[in-house]
A = this chain, B = another copy of it.
Amino acid sequence: MTEILKGLRVVEGSAFIAAPSAGMTLAQMGAEVIRFDPVGGGLDYRRWPVADNGTSFYWAGLNKGKRSIAIDLASAEGRELATGLITAPGQDAGLFLTNFPARGWLDYDALKAKREDLIMVNVQGNPDGSSEVDYTVNCATGLPFLTGRPDDDSPTNHVLPAWDLITGQSAVNGLLAAERHRARTEEGQYLSVALSDVAFSTMGTLGLIAEKEIGGADREATGNDLFGAFGRDFETADGRRAMIVAITRRQWRALVKTAGLAETVNQIESRTGLDLDLEGNRYQATAELASALKPWCRSRTLAEISATFEGTGVCWGPYRSIAQMLAEDPRCGIDNPMFERVAQPGIGATLTAGSPLAFQAAPRTAVKPAPRLGEDTDAILAEILGLDSGAIGALHDKGVVAGADNRGVSK
């Protein structure tokens, strides 16, 4: 965590990945992020992967550092409480992040009537407000046909919910830009970002739309080969794998020198007439270059390859399973200042990251776990809505709010 955004308060009504990851990012930068959920949890409260006791590892990961209030959102009184939180006064408040439909009680104009300068960031599936998830957007981009084995015509889905994650970061950009605008003009606004717009605009950003429209080429799956330069995965003597890449000339020359490929490269260049100092030519010669590099890797262990490449400028990385990542990679461990071992309610102590952003003017502070659902209900009602303990007790009695759900929680 860091405190670069200390004092900023964001109210989040969300589920799943994109919007919650945006709120988490803001919390990791020190904003006070209040996530409201229905009593018993929202649509994502039990999302897999889960612990044996049913606690969701996924929910815990995506809600780190937030405060939690549980409200009966089906009741008029509950909705009034949530509206009160969203539109509460304060120069650094009045920021609402959501992926819920902006209609009914969450209509922007209805909320704005209670706070003129409200900023509402709406994370949508499609720009028309219809729903869409990462899986159903990704399949429409063409990328699954470019993923996986070249000999396999069927599509391969990505596993990383990349569109959700990019959209979440984009939503944070939008919120900070709108808050900057408000600080200068006192003008709030509604802004939206759609998963599908993020995906299709990115296809253009990477040149894939122009390549098809102008070049006419149908991009094909190249397996684990890098497109446009040299790169492939290789098996090692101990059954591990390494991704070896040469995008820049410097990386290429380091690889040729370190793996002793000079002679082979000369032969390929004379035979094909390609200048392999040019990245596109290296791409075209991938198969030939790879057959030279394959026995070199196959006769060395991963540790030997690692030692040989150390300090040479060769661009490469070992493949690791998640278990190997945790066991072998110091970047994904407690010696990385981004990580701490944090006790997560219902889960136990686990390696937990703060912000990947390192701010010189706002040094790292303790990494916070996700809250228990409803953990901050009473404190939020008192601090922000100014309710006294009698009023809070009455809301509990009526079931309009709930405190922390201790079921299945082990300290």
**Would you call A70 an interface residue if the criterion is a C-beta within 8 Å of the partner chain's C-beta atoms?**
no
Q: Hey, which chain B residues are within 8 Å of A167, CB to CB?
A: 356
**Would you call A161 an interface residue if the criterion is a C-beta within 8 Å of the partner chain's C-beta atoms?**
yes
Which residues A142-162 have CB closer than 8 A to chain B? 142-149, 152, 154-162
Report the bound CA distance from A25 to B228 in whole Å.
24
Interchain CB contact under 8 A, B178 and A176: no
Interchain CB contact under 8 A, B319 and A139: yes
Q: Hey, which chain B residues are within 8 Å of A213, CB to CB?
A: 326, 350-351
In the assembled complex, the CB of A338 is this many whole angstroms from the nearest CB of chain B, namely 5
**Would you call A210 an interface residue if the criterion is a C-beta within 8 Å of the partner chain's C-beta atoms?**
yes
Q: Hey, which chain B residues are within 8 Å of A296, CB to CB?
A: none
**CB nearest to A195 among chain B residues:** B356
Which residues A22-67 have CB closer than 8 A to chain B? 24-25, 29, 43, 46-52, 56-62, 64
**Would you call A183 an interface residue if the criterion is a C-beta within 8 Å of the partner chain's C-beta atoms?**
yes
Identify which of A184-192, A268-276, A380-388, A392-400 touches chain B.
Answer: A184-192
Chain B CB within 10 A, most for which of A5, A181, A319: A319
Task: Report if A245-B135 is in contact (Cβ < 8 Å); known contacts: A204-B353, A205-B24, A336-B200.
Answer: yes
Report the bound CA distance from A133 to B245 in whole Å.
9
Interchain CB contact under 8 A, A159 and B147: yes
- Name A's interface SS: mixed
**Which of B5, B147, B187, B207 makes the CB contact (< 8 A) with A177?**
B5
**Which of B49, B131, B162, B179 makes the CB contact (< 8 A) with A180?**
B179
Chain A window 350-377, contacts with chain B (Cβ cutoff 8 Å), 1 for yes, 0 for no: 1111111111111000000000000000
Task: Report if A162-B165 is in contact (Cβ < 8 Å); known contacts: A139-B318, A177-B4, A321-B142.
Answer: yes
Q: Hey, which chain B residues are within 8 Å of A43, CB to CB?
A: 247-248
Report the bound CA distance from A145 to B325 in whole Å.
12
Report the bound CA distance from A188 to B4 in whole Å.
12
**CB nearest to A120 among chain B residues:** B360
For the complex with contacts A43-B248, A57-B211, A160-B202, 13 further pairs of A-B residues with Cβ separation under 8 Å are A4-B177, A16-B247, A47-B228, A58-B228, A137-B317, A139-B241, A145-B322, A170-B357, A172-B173, A191-B359, A197-B356, A203-B325, A209-B326
